Amino acid sequence: MNVMRTGMLLAFMTALFMGVGFLIGGTGGMLIALVVATGMNLFSYWNSDKMVLRMYNAVEVDQNSAPEYYGIVRDLAGRAGLPMPRVYLIENDQPNAFATGRNPQNAAVAASTGLLHRLSPNEVAAVMAHELAHVEHRDTLTMTVTATLAGAISMLGNFAMFFGGGNRNNNNPLGFIGVLVAMIVAPFAAMIVQMAISRTREYSADRRGAEICGNPLWLASALNKIARGAKEIVNEEAERNPASASLFIINPLSGQGADNLFSTHPSTENRIAALQAMVDEFRQRPAAPQPTATPATPAQEEPEDETPSPWGRDGSSRKGPWA
């Protein structure tokens, strides 16, 4: 189903891209758009992870540079039966995270410094489990390619605003109306498709992430903190690249909230409610083996520890089962 969904998505977005090319430049514009879209699809397939990571100035870390963070991802990947992804850190105060890569064998996960500072190890584990669920479901390729094509369609819309309709020989049967469609309707349609797919995949990744980390309340608590942080702190890189917003666990753009047609993500309240509804289901399951010590539930206060922060920032840390 994931392979079929990816194929259908790429076909639709490519057709939309060609349609915009036709509205701007007629038959010639459509053929040029087809060539460009084909090249972009191939380029995105092989380089989507590098593009997104470079966009956010992500730095790769390992066992030596970020032992606890790296250890969390390693243990979770083992529990999920996934290859170990590359692990990145983003210098950004807004708490957030995303996954990228064309398949599980070439995946990468990234968390912001704000996420590691504001969340407990249990909550960090839940967030990274959510991202690994995207890797497992191959959402990373789907959404990264979608973001690339949506950004390209928007770019063509802007191009149409300045150059569309100026050439009488462009063979565009709709004339100025076609240019308006290219400017407004096509980017809007691409945005709607991108947002609808993003909202659907988040619920699925929340459930699978809770299964991987072993406690849905950890993820519910993490989502609450991340949503508050996203409202308080502006992510300037995301604001400059809004097409990439759907990659994050919580929408990094300012001014986003309700679960409606224009949201890249479901409302946080709806996601938390769905996770809380899973608690009874988890209690009825046999206890899953933990990578290390048995964790405390989020309702229990974890003791403060005087050892340095595993991320070398605020001078304090909280012990958790993923240390």
220: number of Cβ within 10 Å: 23
Confidence of residue 216 (pLDDT cuts 50, 70, 90): very high
Q: Domain 44-145+176-285 falls in which CATH fold?
A: Zincin-like (3.30.2010)
C-alpha pair distances (Å), 25 with each of 16, 175, 202: 14, 10, 38
Q: Which of 285, 284, 307, 288 is nearest to 75 (CA)?
A: 288
Q: Which of 236, 250, 246, 194 is nearest to 55 (CA)?
A: 236
Q: What is the pLDDT of residues 24-83, one digit of tens each?
A: 667 776 777 777 767 776 777 777 788 889 999 999 999 999 999 999 999 999 999 999
Q: Which of 126, 91, 138 is nearest to 110 (CA)?
A: 91
Longest CA pairwise span in the chain (Å): 74
The full set of domain ranges for the chain reads: 44-145+176-285
Could you list the residues known to form a binding site for Zn(2+), using ranges.
Answer: 130, 134, 202
Confidence of residue 191 (pLDDT cuts 50, 70, 90): low
The model's pTM: 0.73
Dist CA 188 CA 185 (whole Å): 5
Structure tokens at 116: 């590691």
Q: What is the pLDDT of residues 158-181, one digit of tens each?
A: 666 555 554 444 555 555 565 666
Confidence of residue 263 (pLDDT cuts 50, 70, 90): low
Could you list the residues known to form a binding site, using ranges.
Answer: 130, 134, 202
- In the predicted model, is pLDDT for residue 315 greater than 70? no
**Mean pLDDT estimate for the chain:** 76
Decide if 84 contacts 60 (C-beta within 8 A): no
More confidently predicted of 99 and 6: 99
Candidate list 68, 123, 131, 211, residue with the active-site label: 131
Q: Worst-scoring range by mean pLDDT, 47-56, 87-96, 112-121? A: 47-56
Active site residue 131: yes
